[in-house]
Amino acid sequence: MTHTLHRRGSAESLSDDYVVLMLRAIGVNDTDYVPKLQEFLRICLRHNPVNIGCETKGSMYEYTPEEIIADVRGDTHAVFDNPQAVSRVLKDLKEADLGLSVVVSGIYKTVDECLEEAGLKHHTANFSLGIWGKTEKLPGDEILEITTMCGHGMIATNLVKAMIEEVSAGRKTPDEATMVLTPNCTCGIFNPARTAKLLAKAAGKKQGAT
């Protein structure tokens, strides 16, 4: 599962961005898997995620956690803004032993430390090789840092630009602008806590340039 893998940014910025997801393998362990996904979300919710969601339902910025849990079906996600919460989630998941695959996306060294603290070792590691091709056609890093937090490309570049402009002009706070962007990522891997910081930073640069 790699749609959480291509998040861009500095090590400092990515240090508060971790996605934990659970998924079944079709034809292998997809019998009676729904209660396991539900328990996964309940465990994650005990540790204050900044977002949760399911690919077949949506995120907690469209539905209540209870609604998501009740209708969970496919790959299921939770986003955290600190590694300590990730470690605690992994410990609880180890104890629960739900029998489905768990993927953690984040800075490799930090994720490995979380696994070690939880008494686990990673099975497989995937690394993003970045973007290839005519990269000069891409928007700037301040935009990509936000849009790549939605692995299905549901956060539009021009919408991010508009929100930076709104924050820069004082018409919206970073938190308000973040709430315009967040619901567009329907599977719930978008990190609103990090987004607010990135919008504030980008808006500050824009103000400085004028």
Tokens found for residue 210:
């004028």
Question: Do 102 and 151 have their domain in common?
Answer: no
Domain boundary pick from 62, 90, 117: 117
Share of the chain above pLDDT 90, in %: 81
Question: Do 22 and 111 have their domain in common?
Answer: yes
Beta pairing, strands 76-80 & 58-59:
unpaired
pLDDT band at 210 (very low <50, low <70, confident <90, very high): very low
Number of domains forming the structure of the chain: 2
Give mean pLDDT, residues 29-48.
94
Instruction: Give the torsion sign (CA, 195, 197, 199, 201).
Output: negative
Does residue 124 lie in a domain region? Answer: no
pLDDT tens-digit map of 55-113: 889 999 999 999 999 999 888 999 999 999 999 999 999 999 999 999 999 999 999 99
Question: Do 59 and 153 have their domain in common?
Answer: no
Does residue 51 lie in a domain region? Answer: yes
In the numeric block, the tokens 């019998």 are attached to 31
Does residue 4 lie in a domain region? Answer: no
Domain boundary pick from 117, 148, 173: 117
The CA-CA-CA angle for residues 143, 148, 152, to 5°, reads: 130
What's the chain's average pLDDT?
Answer: 93
Question: Do 33 and 109 have their domain in common?
Answer: yes
Question: Which residues, other chains included, contact 75 with Cβ-Cβ below 8 Å and sequence gap of 6+?
Answer: 1, 21, 22, 23, 54, 55, 187
| CA 33 to each of CA 95, 97, 178: distance values in angstroms, whole numbers, following the listed order | 17, 13, 33
Question: Do 156 and 200 have their domain in common?
Answer: yes
Alpha-carbon gap, residue 207 to 45, rounded angstroms: 38
Domain boundary pick from 117, 150, 172: 117
Show the domain range for 176: 135-209
pLDDT band at 207 (very low <50, low <70, confident <90, very high): low
Does residue 2 lie in a domain region? Answer: no
Kindly report the number of other CB atoms within 10 A of residue 42's CB atom.
Answer: 13
Does residue 39 lie in a domain region? Answer: yes
Does residue 127 lie in a domain region? Answer: no
In the numeric block, the tokens 């953690």 are attached to 104
